[in-house]
Amino acid sequence: MQQNTTDIAEKKDFGRNWVISSRFLFHVQLFAFMAFVLGGCYGLYTMRYKGKPKVEVPESTQYTPKYK
Protein backbone atom coordinates (compact mmCIF):
# COMPACT_ATOMS: atom_id res chain seq x y z
CA MET A 1 0.00 0.00 0.00
CA GLN A 2 2.88 2.34 0.69
CA GLN A 3 4.12 1.89 -2.89
CA ASN A 4 0.77 3.08 -4.33
CA THR A 5 0.79 6.36 -2.44
CA THR A 6 4.30 7.25 -3.59
CA ASP A 7 3.36 6.55 -7.22
CA ILE A 8 0.42 8.95 -6.97
CA ALA A 9 2.62 11.55 -5.28
CA GLU A 10 5.23 11.22 -8.05
CA LYS A 11 2.56 11.67 -10.73
CA LYS A 12 1.45 14.94 -9.15
CA ASP A 13 4.99 16.22 -8.61
CA PHE A 14 5.74 19.29 -10.73
CA GLY A 15 9.40 18.51 -11.27
CA ARG A 16 8.98 14.87 -12.28
CA ASN A 17 6.00 15.04 -14.65
CA TRP A 18 6.94 17.11 -17.72
CA VAL A 19 3.41 16.97 -19.18
CA ILE A 20 1.84 18.73 -16.22
CA SER A 21 4.72 21.17 -15.87
CA SER A 22 4.75 22.10 -19.56
CA ARG A 23 0.98 22.62 -19.53
CA PHE A 24 1.28 24.81 -16.44
CA LEU A 25 4.12 26.84 -17.94
CA PHE A 26 2.14 27.29 -21.17
CA HIS A 27 -0.80 28.72 -19.24
CA VAL A 28 1.50 31.00 -17.23
CA GLN A 29 3.09 32.31 -20.44
CA LEU A 30 -0.32 32.81 -22.04
CA PHE A 31 -1.60 34.71 -19.01
CA ALA A 32 1.54 36.88 -18.87
CA PHE A 33 1.32 37.67 -22.59
CA MET A 34 -2.37 38.58 -22.39
CA ALA A 35 -1.75 40.75 -19.31
CA PHE A 36 1.08 42.54 -21.15
CA VAL A 37 -1.08 43.17 -24.25
CA LEU A 38 -4.10 44.33 -22.28
CA GLY A 39 -1.92 46.55 -20.08
CA GLY A 40 -0.35 48.13 -23.16
CA CYS A 41 -3.74 48.72 -24.76
CA TYR A 42 -5.05 50.27 -21.56
CA GLY A 43 -1.98 52.50 -21.32
CA LEU A 44 -2.44 53.69 -24.89
CA TYR A 45 -6.15 54.28 -24.26
CA THR A 46 -5.58 56.39 -21.16
CA MET A 47 -2.76 58.43 -22.74
CA ARG A 48 -4.55 58.95 -26.05
CA TYR A 49 -4.59 62.27 -27.85
CA LYS A 50 -7.51 64.38 -26.73
CA GLY A 51 -8.90 67.08 -28.99
CA LYS A 52 -7.53 68.70 -32.08
CA PRO A 53 -5.39 71.80 -31.69
CA LYS A 54 -6.26 74.91 -33.64
CA VAL A 55 -3.42 75.32 -36.13
CA GLU A 56 -2.88 78.64 -37.83
CA VAL A 57 -2.19 78.09 -41.54
CA PRO A 58 -0.80 81.01 -43.50
CA GLU A 59 -3.17 82.05 -46.29
CA SER A 60 -0.41 81.95 -48.91
CA THR A 61 0.16 78.20 -48.36
CA GLN A 62 -3.45 77.01 -48.68
CA TYR A 63 -4.80 75.01 -51.62
CA THR A 64 -6.28 78.14 -53.09
CA PRO A 65 -3.86 80.79 -51.82
CA LYS A 66 -4.96 84.34 -51.12
CA TYR A 67 -2.39 86.92 -52.01
CA LYS A 68 -2.25 90.47 -50.75
Mean pLDDT of 62-66: 80
Mean pLDDT, the chain, rounded, equals 80
Asked whether residue 46 is assigned to any structural domain, the reply reads: no
Prediction pTM value = 0.51
Asked whether residue 68 is assigned to any structural domain, the reply reads: no
Asked whether residue 31 is assigned to any structural domain, the reply reads: yes
Distance CA 8, CA 24 (A): 18
C-alpha 46 chain-centroid distance: 15
Mean pLDDT of 43-51: 83
Asked whether residue 61 is assigned to any structural domain, the reply reads: no
Total structural domains within the chain: 1
* Domain extent for 23: 1-37
Query: SS3 helix, strand, coil % of the chain, rounded to 5?
Result: 65, 0, 35
